[in-house]
Amino acid sequence: MPERPQALFAMTAENVPLVFPPAVLARLRESVDIDPGLVAEDLTDPALADVLARTEILVTGWGCPRLDAAVLDAAPKLRAVLHSAGSVKGFAGAEIWRRGIAVSSAAEANAVPVAEYTLAVILLAGKDVFVRRERLRTERVSPGWGIVPGIGNHGRRVGVIGASRIGRKVIELLRPFDLSVSLTDPYVDENAASELGVRLLPLDELLRTSDIVTVHAPETPETRRLIGGRELALMPDGAVLVNTARGSLVDTDALVAELRSGRLSAVLDVTDPEPLPADSPLHELLGAFVTPHLAGSQGNELARLGLAVVEEAERVVSGAGVAFPVAFEALERGA
């Protein structure tokens, strides 16, 4: 059996057994020489100098320390950084790419549960489940079995903001349903939108013509408060805003004002600020359904992230290269 390349975990130690449960870890160790008991939370620790000098593959995750020039100098054999989470922005800089080190991310795997959550809440929002459940819990009076006008998912108009990995997966998951789906994204043209099977619209028109708007744009200076008071005012009465991206993309005060009026409702898995203060009106407003950042990988879904890294490690060892590379140029407009 050929000698396995040296690998090292660089992440918060408590996350290793969650992301790499026994079966996933065992498969990883078939390809690389990695010690799950040796986890680098500080890559400048002198005790790690010997193993870092031999490391060819760095398995990173939440809590990974910054990979600056000094760290990279201490790891001269490093050829791949395999990230077991989404964005690498927090720890990766241009020097990694300058040295020709491959960078891979499990963002594609992490997009799956977010898209599933979004699909679920879109369908439930189309039936007005969230508001009506709260009303029933508060009033304790059932409206009976009569027909409820205005609700349902037959022909419901859904607007997707951002053709990110998650946005594209949401579009894919929505296809089997009888919905009319539109997209806005400054980096997508008509041909690309046609391939996705959606109408491409400017943001304002998408807001005006959507019953449910779901946000999947990245957090950048340009997208801060992308949905403010002016934009919310464009949404039709009774529309629903879904945000699983970042809280900063929505102006919280403006949204609260719309929710108080009863004109709009919202499903928020992310907020600004996050976590919400105990006295935030979003905890109490009838039209606000807030979950504590659950859409991304949780519980048994974390193993999917570890498996994504395992498969990338197998490719690197075989000489095939990574399947989900992160390009430095994409960092600026990525999440």
DSSP 278-311: TT-GGGT-TTEEE-SS-SSS-GGGHHHHHHHHHH
From the list 14, 172, 274, 332, the catalytic residue is 274
Structure tokens at 76: 């001269």
From the list 30, 85, 17, the residue with the least C-alpha distance to 309 is 85
DSSP strand pairing (7-10 vs 57-60): parallel
The answer to whether 230 is a known catalytic residue is: no
User: Are the C-beta atoms of 2 and 314 separated by less than 8 Å?
Assistant: no
Give CA–CA dist 245/268, Å, rounded: 9
- Count of Cβ atoms closer than 10 Å to residue 63 Cβ: 16
The helix or strand, by DSSP H or E, that contains position 24, with its residue range, turns out to be helix 22-31
From the list 168, 246, 304, 315, the catalytic residue is 246
User: What torsion do the CA atoms of 134, 139, 140, 143 make, to the nearest 10 degrees?
Assistant: -90
Q: How far is CA 41 from CA 9, 59, 76, 107, 175, in A?
A: 9, 12, 19, 21, 43
User: Are the C-beta atoms of 182 and 194 separated by less than 8 Å?
Assistant: no
From the list 263, 293, 314, 333, the catalytic residue is 293
Structure tokens at 5: 């390349």
Eight-class DSSP state of 13:
G
Q: How far is CA 149 from CA 15, 144, 183, in A?
A: 48, 14, 27
The answer to whether 246 is a known catalytic residue is: yes
Q: How far is CA 19 from CA 111, 112, 301, in A?
A: 15, 15, 8
Instruction: Return the active site residues.
Output: 246, 274, 293
